[in-house]
Amino acid sequence: MRLRALPALRPQDHRDESIARSPRVSCQHGEQFRGAFGKVDIARVCELLFTTAAEGLVVVDGSGCILMHNPRLNTMFGYAEGELLGAGVEVLLPDAARKRHVDHRNAYDKKPVQRSMGIGMDLWGKRKDGTVLPVEVSLNHFEVDGARFVMGLVTDITLRRVAQDELKRTNQELEDRVDQRTAELREAEHNVREALEAEKELNMLKSRFVSMASHEFRTPLSTIMGSVDLIARYTEDTPNDKVEKHVTRIRGKVREMTAMLNEFLSLEKIEQGHLVCVPVELDIVHLTIEMIEELRTLAKSGQAIDYDHEGGERNATLDRQMLSNVISNLVTNAVKYSPEGSRWSCAPASPEGGSPSRSRTRGWAFRTRTSSTSSSASSGAAMPPPYRAPALGSTS
3-state secondary structure of 12: coil
Q: Who has greater pLDDT, 339 or 169?
A: 169
For residue 274, pLDDT over 70 is answered with no
Pairwise CA distance, residues 121 & 110, whole Å = 22
Beta bridge partners of 367: 347, 376
Mean predicted confidence (pLDDT) in 19-41: 50
For residue 23, pLDDT over 60 is answered with no
Bin 120: left if φ > 0, else alpha if -120 < ψ < 50, else beta. Answer: left
Residues 216-254: tens digit of each pLDDT: 777 888 888 888 888 888 888 888 888 888 888 888 788
- Band of the pLDDT at 301, cuts 50, 70, 90? confident
Residues 49-68: tens digit of each pLDDT: 888 999 999 999 989 999 99
Please report the pLDDT score of residue 364 as a whole number. 61
Helix axes 284-295, 320-337, angle to 10 degrees: 40
**What is the three-state SS of 317-347?**
EEEHHHHHHHHHHHHHHHHHHCCCCCEEEEE
Mean predicted confidence (pLDDT) in 198-208: 83
- Concatenate the DSSP letters of all residues of 22-76 into one string: SPPPP-TTHHHHHHH--HHHHHHHHHHHHHT-SSEEEEE-TT-BEEEE-HHHHHH
Please report the pLDDT score of residue 295 as a whole number. 77
Query: Which residues are within 8 A (CB) of 34 and not within 5 positions of it... i.e. 6 or more apart?
Result: none
Q: Looking at residue 312, what DSSP letter applies?
A: S
Query: Which residues are within 8 A (CB) of 117 and not within 5 positions of it... i.e. 6 or more apart?
Result: 123, 136, 137, 138, 139, 152
Please report the pLDDT score of residue 309 as a whole number. 74
- Band of the pLDDT at 351, cuts 50, 70, 90? low
Query: Which residues are within 8 A (CB) of 55 and not within 5 positions of it... i.e. 6 or more apart?
Result: 72, 153, 154, 155
Pairwise CA distance, residues 145 & 132, whole Å = 36
Whole-number Cα distances in Å, 116 to 123, 153, 181:
11, 9, 43
Q: Which domains does the chain have, with CATH numbers?
A: 14-156 (3.30.450.20), 276-396 (3.30.565.10)
Pairwise CA distance, residues 211 & 265, whole Å = 7
Mean predicted confidence (pLDDT) in 253-273: 72
For residue 25, pLDDT over 60 is answered with no
User: 3-state DSSP helix/strand/coil percent for the chain, to nearest 5?
Assistant: 55, 20, 30
Residues 56-106: tens digit of each pLDDT: 999 999 899 999 999 999 999 999 999 999 999 999 999 999 999 998 888
Pairwise CA distance, residues 308 & 338, whole Å = 19
Residues 107-155: tens digit of each pLDDT: 888 888 877 765 667 899 999 999 999 999 999 889 888 889 999 999 9
